[in-house]
Structure 1
Amino acid sequence: MNVRALHVLAPAPVKTGPTITAAAPAGPALPAVPVERRPPPDGYRRAIEAHRQAAPPSRVDPCIAEAVERQAAAMRELSRRAFPDPDVAADDEPAPIEQARAQRRRQADVSHAAALRRARAERTTRETRTAAAVPQSSAPLGRTA
């Protein structure tokens, strides 16, 4: 089937808002004539109907739907385990944010103490190596500056 004619349909009339009206260029005002839309040609209607008949209707496989539901339930359970609902704190207990801050401070203190121990051990090792590598003389060293 060859196309012999092509009829371009005009767009439907659009309500103009205040921003469109304000942005319109100043010029001679043309009377607003509504565009009359012609019905689509028979060939167009036939083509649309043929497409609708050829396209298979979407079918949901019950096995896939069941698998999706199982997966969603498993994800909800994992989420519930990973992010449990916080218990309501009593008035005399610190708020959850304060508990988190205190825990971070403790962790930082532990890390800081470990870093100090390591730095002291490395400094002792360096001083021991330096003392062994440099021969000790009985004469004191003089200053050059």
Structure 2
Amino acid sequence: MPELVGRIQGVAFDVDTGRLDVVPDAPAVGTKLRWSAPKLIAAANETVPGANVRALHILAPAPMKASSSPAAADTTPQPTTPAVPVERRTPPDGYRRAIEAHRQAAPPSQVDPTIAQAVERQNAVMRELSQRAFPEAEQRADDQPGPTDTGVQQRRREFAATETAALLRARAERAHRAGAAVLLPRAAPLRTSA
């Protein structure tokens, strides 16, 4: 990508994993690298035969060092030394004593029995209010529709009446245009909603 020439610098290549570490000169360039990583990996593999770049790792932005020309840089990937695993050290005695003192000073939380009883009473009252407000389905007869079902059925009936009236009017207008006289049945007045 020509717009990235001189704006990024390869700093490391791990032969075992195929990871190429690069440093952009600005955060915007780093974002552009992340978006175009597959293209850059393919271009690196075409430019350097046998490189086998599989991943691009974009490091934090840093200013570029001045060089004579970007093309003069060595394009052969340099293997890096494998990282030494970090050994976990045993924490010092003072640290362990401080952690133990903190655990003893902060006792585990205990539930106050009076608070637990108050919560249970409140839950019982809320259950009772809920049952009064929303009666269970078993309490009403099986053939009786629920309050929600009644409203849905009413809206469906009103929709059907409106649809029938519209169809009758459309037929009458079509017949009137054709020159025939048609008498419309008198429809019941429609309810309006607020």
TM-score (norm: length of structure 1): 0.44
Q: Which has the higher helix share?
A: 1
